[in-house]
Structure 1
């Protein structure tokens, strides 16, 4: 559980060990107040009751601030006092371990490390280089047991790096069960009630947990909807993990501009944001964030507005926002080098407009007034840099420039990465999904302008043009596919082939490489791929309720040979040429068949909308809505119950979780699906 502000609780199950971590904050003073953290460790299942456990508590600075250790008996780090610009003066206290009932632990061993690190991203390396295995746990009257503990810092391997972060580490080694508490006390709190520890901490944790559960039910109403306790706990965990994954990042991106030969550092920036996955994608992603804020805005609209403001403060003078926020060395350490540089001519789906559509009605006018110039600049940047070859068409820039390497050159800008586009990238492409995103953006700009008394008609005019069903059909309806589609220079016959590479004289032959082969010359035509892109006119509800094309789209969605599965809508139809095809020998399918929660949520939102509007497809939309909602929720819960995780995407054949995990970014939208909150 995590309320996003003052309270958190998590259970970690680790091969016979149950670790529960809990924290609670107590506001006060000028720097955020006090907080306390409790770690409880127990044996569970087949775990050994005589096993030793070492807990490591890190305290570190990030290039500024002062830390002063306070030792007891030369080895136990009892407290750390310090000061920093953000926190002022503070004191961190490591209380002696106790049992669950609060009695002192009979025996424990303490170790302490004081070292320097090149940065927070190297803390684990510093600790690893300081470990030694010659220590012995010697409880009175009990068996002796060897264990690993920090000793002396021996330096890091590789080239020497300048020290930036002071690292203090408190290690406590003990037998289970045991409990350890850590308190943080702010120096600017002048009047402090009883210390936030022991029974006082227990009472505060219980009070905050009860308040969270009541607020969750008041917000989402899952008990009222009949969900059993286990599924309600699943939904609480999904929301809490998104809230618990929020972070504050500072640093600069590396940006490649068409005007410069080499990448240059972007302006130093700060970002408060949610992240897709704490373990695999611990940074901000532009198109993910719009989906994150759909859920967070429902839980805490003020928090959501703050995050959105941070994102728009990253905008440059032209109106561009980097799509991936790799701020600082710690973030950069988690990213492969080829993905670090951001290109200033490459976009990302403007999904923040999805969240703004929800927030506009109740957003304070002063907030909207500050935000509106940035919204307008962002919108104009898309119109000026991502325009297509014809009026009211759009084209993602930045498709992969190496056509020989990929079965279908990727379009990372679209967020759909390897989803099939025209086989031969060109300036003639018309991308359907971007056109639909711009229709949504035009609508939100118009609504914001109307609230502020600004000129809204230019945005309304563009919205009407981009929502014009006849124009949409002329530009994007593929009669031979029976669906909406992209248009471009496309070959329907491409494949991958292993190509032998000649060896240089006297050299062993190099490994063969895989290259693309084209069996049919490309020509300008619609792209024969039925999948998520084909659904965008429905997903963003641009189709009129009486449109005959709406019926065809619903047919394709509900066809089990194409997009429908027992687990949600698959991303690419089974009869599409590139269904589940690798893009290179090292690049497995990604958006070529798997079930993705963010697009399924948009589908539920759209079906729910069409089911409420008069038209010939209303009853069918209502029926499909109920079936799709059941399929999506039941599979995500089943996979969570089996694995303990929400996943990045799900198999369209088994429903099994795939990709990175835990992935409590947009997969947490299952909470809104359960609440039927659209």
Structure 2
């Protein structure tokens, strides 16, 4: 059964007995005269004791409240999971850990040196610096950008199409020395095709490579010269020691160069700092301003923390950037020119061999020379190349404090959902990411999980969105940065954990088992936090916190904590709600934790009992099955008779801009949210494989999934076309999000479940097998076709046309298409 904290009843609480040595009771042992004469004194003593008890009670209460106030930003009291990072893991010290920029390198160190690329076309640069590329921005409207190969350790290569040019960026690394090794980066600029080359003859492109120090980094940087010629950048940090960067023109013609050395106000304003320094030296010749000293308010000169070198060339050309560490005592060759090309090619071959070994697409009939194969490699590489390293503190809030406070400062090594729109860590996304990453490189996956679980506080809570550092904060409006400690997110890391144990089992090495052992107490605390803070009013039920019961603007109050945002729930949020998806997440989590307990030789009986209790279909049916609609559903205070309408303007105020408000036409009642609503939430007992393979309800689910209203030619819709809120706006400003669009993470779970039920003993295997083949093919074909036509993997897909929608690129959980192609779930 579900384990809950047990509060003792009044009869079980041992109450202290009244003392027998009070002034009044002791006086009864004396003479009657003495007792009478001491009576006023006894009353005074009684009141003194009462006042003392009240004061002590207030002190204890205040102390306890103070304790509750501090819990939100008090780290979990246990051994850290991350024992080694930074220079202790040299093969992952340097990397493309700035996913929010088109190309940049930094270290896994809180005080990292930061390097990166900007570029622009001098004859197309607009006032205000519009046209300079730096951060991944959807508004730049690049035809394509993304990694085509990236192994997470040694190298990566990326293709960027900025019409009419292609920029190919890559990097390689070399271990050695005592400060984390060396690397080189290459930027090659060319025309997309010969026809374009003839039309855009002698076009200029300016590349700006920069080095910056953030507020944590101790050291210096400066431009280095050879007579009057800029040859690079040199500097020192406490982690890297002495270093230098050199710029080599490997091919083509570089017309001129310039540099900027100044103090930038922050890493989030590097582009703005460059824009403010640009000078027109001649027609089509724009240069950086050179040295721009900065001063404090007391006229003290600040040391430069930002040095940028601009090289302008005629297309086509290639530039190599070489980072060399002063700790190398012997350097047989420089990572430039032919040496660079040979090492890059060697890494390509190794990547291709490892990719086939891991995913075996050739055995699925996909030739390695095909576009489909290259697409799969790119999808994986964008997931791996989207791994970032962040450092900072979240802003958090609890009911015990009046104002938000900061979490402790900490690092986070994590993949990101989207380099353009979500270049930061998201808790439930990362569990899905781990399914793919762990198959590619288990050590990277475990390292990511370790960093996330080191963010667990003493309550067992992890903030669901990590906005760490000034670059990440610059992408998020301030009102959305606060994280509440009562708000959850689906515990998808248990999906990753279950996948790792199933895939690797006894093949885990000693260090990997040790990592899981250190993680185990934190997984327990996390599960316990869910099982106490998210439980429902009815035994065995669960409820997402965070819905707004007082909103008048939303057609259906959002459930952001569920990850499904505007998916329709009970129309009127109350404490009596029961959410079937959270029930299933908890059943899956309990099963995964029980499995890990057994593998580690720990006592996991309570998790096994919880899993058995929640996976009992009788309980699931009692709480969530609707005999009326014959499907699983949420329960709550609900009515379907809700619309958004614009209020009538007040008399004599006809021009009022009045926002649409929710109007309820029928009184809500407590019921299952069934009716015509059908979509992902209703499928969760199937998606997470809670429904028994022999259950007649499985047959009903499979037949419902086969209906054209939910199953499109491109995948499963998030909400059936017959549902009342299908593709309806949630406010007049918020377009539908989870109300019909096709999401790849949910389709992955559906295909995975169909595979499971097609192989499990039961009467519905054939039905599941047929649907498995149909859905798998539909999802893979559409994601690939949209990538081929648009250059991107998308956040979601239109259920009518298959077109990508939402943000792009979205090579977070949408990259799970690689696992669908390999049929390895």
Normalising TM by the smaller chain, what interval?
A: over 0.9
| Aligned mates of 1:155, 1:509 — CA distance in 2 | 53
Find out whether 1:645 has 2:786 as its counterpart.
Answer: no
Find out whether 1:222 has 2:367 as its counterpart.
Answer: no
Find out whether 1:442 has 2:593 as its counterpart.
Answer: no
| Aligned mates of 1:489, 1:163 — CA distance in 2 | 61
Find out whether 1:348 has 2:489 as its counterpart.
Answer: yes
Residue from 427, 452, 459 that aligns with 1:286? 427
For the 8 Å contact 2:253–2:313, the answer to whether it is kept is no
| Aligned mates of 1:163, 1:620 — CA distance in 2 | 71
| Aligned mates of 1:386, 1:647 — CA distance in 2 | 32
Find out whether 1:89 has 2:242 as its counterpart.
Answer: yes
Cα displacement (A) at 1:155 = 10
| Aligned mates of 2:559, 2:229 — CA distance in 1 | 54
Query: Cα distance 1:308–1:116, how it changes in 2: closer, same or farther (>3 A)?
Result: same
CA deviation map 1:396-443 (0-9, x unaligned): 001134421100000000000000010000001000000000001101
1:102 match: none
1:253 match: 394
Find out whether 1:510 has 2:649 as its counterpart.
Answer: no
| Correspondence list, 1:111-510, <5 A | 111-132=258-279, 134-136=280-282, 145-151=283-289, 166-228=305-367, 229-360=370-501, 361=505, 362-363=507-508, 364-502=512-650, 509-510=655-656
CA deviation map 1:125-183 (0-9, x unaligned): 11111122x223xxxxxxxx523332268899xx99x9897110000011111110011
If the length of structure 1 is used for normalisation, what is the TM-score?
A: 0.94
Query: Cα distance 1:428–1:168, how it changes in 2: closer, same or farther (>3 A)?
Result: same
2:214 match: 62
Cα displacement (A) at 1:119 = 1.3
For the 8 Å contact 2:222–2:304, the answer to whether it is kept is no
For the 8 Å contact 1:248–1:271, the answer to whether it is kept is yes
Cα displacement (A) at 1:480 = 2.2
For the 8 Å contact 2:161–2:167, the answer to whether it is kept is yes
| Aligned mates of 1:235, 1:106 — CA distance in 2 | 36
Cα displacement (A) at 1:262 = 1.0
| Aligned mates of 2:293, 2:766 — CA distance in 1 | 69
Name whichever of 67-76 and 665-674 sits farther off: 67-76
Query: Cα distance 1:393–1:165, how it changes in 2: closer, same or farther (>3 A)?
Result: farther
| Aligned mates of 2:774, 2:303 — CA distance in 1 | 55
2:689 match: 541
For the 8 Å contact 1:126–1:153, the answer to whether it is kept is no
For the 8 Å contact 1:67–1:80, the answer to whether it is kept is no
- Aligned residue for 2:361, secondary structure, equals coil
Cα displacement (A) at 1:307 = 0.3
For the 8 Å contact 1:388–1:428, the answer to whether it is kept is yes
Name whichever of 644-653 and 118-127 sits farther off: 118-127
CA deviation map 1:366-416 (0-9, x unaligned): 212211100000000001100101111000001134421100000000000
The number of residue pairs the alignment matches comes to 657
Query: Cα distance 1:263–1:675, how it changes in 2: closer, same or farther (>3 A)?
Result: same
| Correspondence list, 1:607-646, <5 A | 607-646=754-793
1:52 match: 204
- Aligned residue for 1:177, secondary structure, equals strand
| Aligned mates of 1:443, 1:630 — CA distance in 2 | 30
Query: Cα distance 1:154–1:555, how it changes in 2: closer, same or farther (>3 A)?
Result: farther
Residue from 5, 12, 18 that aligns with 2:166? 18
| Aligned mates of 1:341, 1:75 — CA distance in 2 | 51
Cα displacement (A) at 1:462 = 0.6
| Aligned mates of 1:300, 1:131 — CA distance in 2 | 44
1:108 match: 255
| Aligned mates of 2:568, 2:729 — CA distance in 1 | 11
CA deviation map 1:595-636 (0-9, x unaligned): 000000001110001111111110110111111110000000
| Aligned mates of 1:226, 1:339 — CA distance in 2 | 46
For the 8 Å contact 2:261–2:306, the answer to whether it is kept is yes
2:815 match: 668
- Aligned residue for 1:513, secondary structure, equals coil
- Aligned residue for 2:305, secondary structure, equals strand
Cα displacement (A) at 1:565 = 0.5
| Aligned mates of 2:619, 2:254 — CA distance in 1 | 77
| Aligned mates of 1:417, 1:244 — CA distance in 2 | 27
- Aligned residue for 1:499, secondary structure, equals coil
Cα displacement (A) at 1:107 = 4.9
For the 8 Å contact 2:221–2:304, the answer to whether it is kept is no
2:69 match: none
Name whichever of 448-457 and 42-51 sits farther off: 42-51
| Aligned mates of 1:559, 1:508 — CA distance in 2 | 47
For the 8 Å contact 1:76–1:112, the answer to whether it is kept is no
Name whichever of 397-406 and 234-243 sits farther off: 397-406
Cα displacement (A) at 1:43 = 1.6
For the 8 Å contact 1:253–1:328, the answer to whether it is kept is no
- Structure 2, unmatched stretches of 5+, are 1-148
Cα displacement (A) at 1:276 = 0.2
Residue from 660, 663, 672 that aligns with 1:526? 672
Cα displacement (A) at 1:471 = 1.1
2:112 match: none
Cα displacement (A) at 1:227 = 1.4
- Aligned residue for 2:364, secondary structure, equals coil
For the 8 Å contact 1:117–1:163, the answer to whether it is kept is no
| Aligned mates of 1:629, 1:280 — CA distance in 2 | 28
Instruction: Give the CA RMSD over aligned residues.
Output: 2.0
Name whichever of 108-117 and 147-156 sits farther off: 147-156
- Aligned residue for 1:80, secondary structure, equals strand
Cα displacement (A) at 1:472 = 0.5
Query: Cα distance 1:76–1:495, how it changes in 2: closer, same or farther (>3 A)?
Result: farther
Cα displacement (A) at 1:589 = 0.3
| Aligned mates of 1:649, 1:519 — CA distance in 2 | 33
Residue from 46, 68, 78 that aligns with 2:231? 78
| Aligned mates of 2:513, 2:772 — CA distance in 1 | 36
For the 8 Å contact 2:259–2:288, the answer to whether it is kept is yes
Cα displacement (A) at 1:502 = 4.0
